[in-house]
Structure 1
Amino acid sequence: MKIGYRTLKTAIGAAIAILIAEQLGLRFPSAAGVIAILCIQVTRKRSVSAAVNRLLASWVGLLLSFVFFSLLGYHPLTLMLLLLVFLPVLVKFKITDGFVSSVVVLLHIYSMRQFTPGIVLNEVCLMLIGVGVALLMNLYMPNIEKELQELQKELEQNFAKILREFAFYLRHGSSDWAGQEMIDTDQLLEKAMLQASRDEENKLLKPSPGYYQYFFMRSKQFEILQRMLPIVSSLNQQLPQGQQIAEFLEKLSDHVHPGNTAFVFLQQLQEMQEQLKRDELPKTREEFEIRAALFYLLYEMQQYLFIKHSMGKAKQEKQAQAGC
């Protein structure tokens, strides 16, 4: 049995919150532990959001409970009406995350059958203790940058392998490649984007290293590789233009890395497109279809490179603005 860091933080945080509430002599000290458990989230950003929403929802709950219980008395039907009004109000203000913890506060007031400054102070203290302990526990988050770098490296290796296999097929018109890298890359991207998203949400004050943008860019490029696959597999007849594109893909496979060298390949690709236009017109229907497929393949490759070039250009502009 493996205990994760979040499970450990939740258990310790709940115990600390209850201990503090007990030492202060508050009523219902276990509620502080419940609130701490609810506020400990996967990332720092989500924890802060959960804490704010629960505090706001609790204040709304206290206000509504004062109105309803003062006018209608402490009765199950009053509690029912209160909840029927309370939840739509939270939905209206987009703070539904705080519903459960706020209901705990409402039930405390209902069970004590009175609404006094002391009771309100007790509930506010429980909320602040639970939220405060949760935020303190979530100050620690494991550094996953090394894992992200490994995912990036593995992803780039797959991209390079796919491009080389495309080039091999264009050169020889056949291949025994099973396409496993296509399946693996799809799974890698899903995992990488989830991890990168969590990493960004944990960096509240530090600048983001940009892993999420990088993996998002690769996901868009992978969509193009998926579209290129049936085009390449249909080109089983060898032509000089196909050999030229194969050479280009081999060079491109050697330059799959985080750096921005896409503009160099975009220039080469444009020259290839111009050369293909100047070539002698196809003489047979089959040759015409192959040439059309090659044109479309060059277009997809251009989009593939443009995605990388646009990201690199945006990153450079952002760094230049930060420098100014």
Structure 2
Amino acid sequence: MKIGLRTIKTAIGAAIALLIAEAIGLAYPTSAAIITVLSVTNTKRSTAKTAIGRVLSLTLALAVALICFSILGFHAIAFGLYLLIFIPFSVKFKLSEGIAVSSVLITHFLSDGRFSWPAIANEYLLMIIGVGCALAVNLYMPDTEKRIQEDQLVVEVIMRDLLQEMATYLNQSSKEAMLFQMCQSLADFIKEAQNNARQFEENRFVGANHYYFEYFAMRRLQLRILNNMLTILQDLSATEEEAHELQELLNFTSETLAEDNDGKVIQEKIAETNQKYRQKDLPDSREAFENRAQLFQLFQLFQEFIEIKASFHRQQK
């Protein structure tokens, strides 16, 4: 049985919250521990957001409970009316995550049969201690930036291999079905890497940016283009002469594809290749015309593939 880091932090935070609540003599001290358990999330930002939401939720709950209990007394019917009003308002103000926790704290007033300033302060302190301990234990997060950078390298290596294989099979009648499997495997890998990047960025309060997340989003877009190119490539039967220019582009890109490559050089080569295609003689048969049209489609998709990377670099400046 494996015990994760979040479980360990939750256990430590809950124990500390209970000890603090007992040490300062709060009523219902176990509530502070339960609040901690419910407030430890996967990232620092989400925990902070949860903490603020819980305090705001308690404020709304107290206002609604004060009205309901003052009118109907401290009875089950009053608590039912409180829920009938509190839940819709919580949803409206996007505080629904705090419904259960706040309502448990409100039951303390129901048990005591009265409202008082010390009792209200007690509930706020329970909430603050609970979410405060959750925030404290979540201040430690393992640094995953190195892993994300390694994921970038993996993506680039596989993309280079894909481009190289596409160049190899461009003018061959027998296509490699493994290329589609490579695309699917890479798509799954990028999706997981992008989730890791999001989590990494949400664990940074200072100097946070979305570079890694946007980087993997850019590679996902490029991969979709490659997949579309493979669909065309599967039915293409171009001659070596017809496919030569595009093969050169694919091979050059496979050799130079990297995170810091802004795509300017390859865009210049694309412009040169486009000019060469325009200067070629028109096809003299239906089959040659269809091959030329498919090559042109591939060429256009490849332009889009490069433009996605170039646009990403422009946005990062």
Length-normalised TM-score, structure 1: 0.94
- Partner Cα distance (1:287, 1:65) in 2: 79
Residues 250-303 of structure 1: CA distance to partner in whole angstroms, max 9, x if unpaired? 110011210133111111112211211221001111111110011111110111
Q: Which residue of 2 aligns with 1:266?
A: 267
Residue type of the partner of 1:145? E
Q: Which residue of 2 aligns with 1:125?
A: 125
Is 1:14–1:33's contact at 8 Å kept on the other side of the alignment? yes
Q: Which residue of 1 aligns with 2:24?
A: 24
Q: Which residue of 2 aligns with 1:189?
A: 190
- Cα deviation, residue 20, structure 1: 0.5
Q: Which residue of 1 aligns with 2:67?
A: 67
- Cα deviation, residue 207, structure 1: 3.5
- Mapping of residues 180-219 of structure 1, within 5 Å: 180-208=181-209, 210-219=211-220
Bigger drift between 286-295 and 230-239 goes to 230-239
Aligned residue-pair number: 316
Is 2:175–2:234's contact at 8 Å kept on the other side of the alignment? no
Instruction: Give SS of 1:89's match.
Output: helix
Residue type of the partner of 2:288? E
Is 2:171–2:236's contact at 8 Å kept on the other side of the alignment? no
Q: Which residue of 1 aligns with 2:230?
A: 229
- Partner Cα distance (1:198, 1:307) in 2: 24
Residue type of the partner of 2:232? I
Question: Among the aligned pairs, what percent are the same residue?
Answer: 37
- Cα deviation, residue 9, structure 1: 0.4
- Cα deviation, residue 175, structure 1: 4.2
Q: Please tell me whether residue 294 in structure 1 is matched to residue 292 in structure 2.
A: no
Q: Which residue of 2 aligns with 1:101?
A: 101
- Mapping of residues 169-180 of structure 1, within 5 Å: 169-176=169-176, 178-179=178-179, 180=181
- Partner Cα distance (1:263, 1:145) in 2: 28
- Mapping of residues 47-86 of structure 1, within 5 Å: 47-86=47-86
Is 2:27–2:122's contact at 8 Å kept on the other side of the alignment? yes
Unaligned runs of 5+ in 1: 317-324
Is 1:241–1:276's contact at 8 Å kept on the other side of the alignment? no
Instruction: Give SS of 1:124's match.
Output: helix
Bigger drift between 167-176 and 269-278 goes to 167-176
- Cα deviation, residue 117, structure 1: 1.1
Residues 66-107 of structure 1: CA distance to partner in whole angstroms, max 9, x if unpaired? 111011111111111110100111111111121121111111
Residues 264 and 53 of structure 1: is their aligned pair in 2 closer, same or farther, counting only changes over 3 Å? same
- Partner Cα distance (1:92, 1:215) in 2: 34
Is 1:169–1:233's contact at 8 Å kept on the other side of the alignment? no
Unaligned runs of 5+ in 2: none
RMSD: 1.3
Residue type of the partner of 1:56? L
Instruction: Give SS of 1:254's match.
Output: helix
Is 1:161–1:181's contact at 8 Å kept on the other side of the alignment? no
Residue type of the partner of 1:11? A
Is 1:32–1:130's contact at 8 Å kept on the other side of the alignment? yes
Q: Which residue of 2 aligns with 1:251?
A: 252
Residues 43-80 of structure 1: CA distance to partner in whole angstroms, max 9, x if unpaired? 11100110000000001111111111011111111111
Residues 190-213 of structure 1: CA distance to partner in whole angstroms, max 9, x if unpaired? 101100011111111124371111
Instruction: Give SS of 2:229's match.
Output: helix
